[in-house]
Structure 1
Amino acid sequence: MKRIATTLVVLGLTAGAALAEVAPNDVAFEDGAIEQSLSGTAGNAENGRKIATTKSLGNCVSCHAAEAYADVPFHGEIGPMLDGAGSRWEEAQLRGIVANAKMIFEGTMMPAFYKTNGYIRPGNAYTGKAAEGDLPPLLSAQQVEDVVAYLMTLKDE
């Protein structure tokens, strides 16, 4: 009985550890990809679409177009089309691109959505003054996972 209880406790601790959110400064990139879920929870593609197409959230629509959100007005055209993103990239690669595209594409103008420091001259909102301390990430760990889940649905037919 003790052995079963001990095993269950160990399994419970292991499962709990797997569900822990990864802080922005603790993200492990491997060739630009992030293998581990940032939130420990699977992404929700429906929420990801909302984040990608809402200007006050992810704002992906300002730079990227996709047939999947042709109903959203005013797409940008400076980023690549997102059609087929789920076929071109693996989930870990998409997670890395959304979290910090500069880890794969040096010199890209795409913002790092899950980063809190290392910026060059960030401002303090609209005050004209430099930011003090670390900035919060643009998206939460779960929002990154949701966007990745949505991008994984954009497959070539």
Structure 2
Amino acid sequence: MLAAAASTAFAPASAVELRPYTVVGDAIPASLTRARGDATRGRALVVERASTCILCHSGPFPEQAFQGDLAPNLAGSGSRWTEGQLRLRLVDASHLNAMTIMPSYYRVDGLARVGNSWRGKPILSAEQIEDIVAYLVTLRE
């Protein structure tokens, strides 16, 4: 069942309207879904190669032999950033660094070089963002 969920986890989110959020400083303090995400689902999303997370990031994922080294190691994410800071980095990292190569996972406007199947759709749903945030905050070491 987990394999089936992981294989479809990164199809473009449905063409529903994005849920509103407010950026406060360097964070989005409130959950996009008004609920806490599921850390187990979040971990499955992070280690799924289709997500691109581990193509750039390494972390405490011993089952994944090949992990990226272009971006910060995800180990200790929960000690370095708050939930809100992690949420903004996933939603739209370019808000913090206009030159970042990290994708904006929950943004559809103002993007260049977007494939036709992704045009007008966020890469992740609000629920998936919250699941990943819930997992990353557990990474304390």
Q: What band does the TM-score fall into relative to the shorter chain?
A: 0.7 to 0.9
Distance (whole Å) between structure 1 residues aligned to residue 42 and residue 109 of structure 2:
24
Q: TM-score, normalized by length of structure 1?
A: 0.73
Q: Map Cα deviations across residues 57-101 of structure 1 (whole Å, 9 max, x no partner).
A: x321110001x2121132111011111110000111001111111
Aligned to 1:153, which of 128, 138, 141? 138
User: In structure 2, what is the equivalent of residue 9 of structure 1?
Assistant: none
Alignment of 1:83-98 (within 5 A): 83-98=75-90
RCO higher in structure (CA 8 A, sep ≥6):
2
1:65 aligns with 2:58: yes
Distance (whole Å) between structure 2 residues aligned to residue 123 and residue 143 of structure 1:
20
Name whichever structure is richer in helix by fraction. 1
Number of aligned residue pairs: 125
User: In structure 1, what is the equivalent of residue 126 of structure 2?
Assistant: 141
1:115 aligns with 2:101: no
Q: CA RMSD in A?
A: 1.7
- Structure 1 residue ranges, 4+ long, deviating more than 3 angstroms after superposition: none
Instruction: Report sequence identity in percent.
Output: 37
Q: Which runs of 5+ in 2 are unaligned?
A: 1-16
Q: TM-score, normalized by length of structure 2?
A: 0.81
1:51 aligns with 2:51: no
Return the index of the structure with the highest Cα Rg: 1
* Preserved contact between residue 20 and residue 32 of structure 2 (Cα < 8 Å): no
Q: What one-letter code is carried by the residue in structure 1 that aligns with 2:76?
A: G
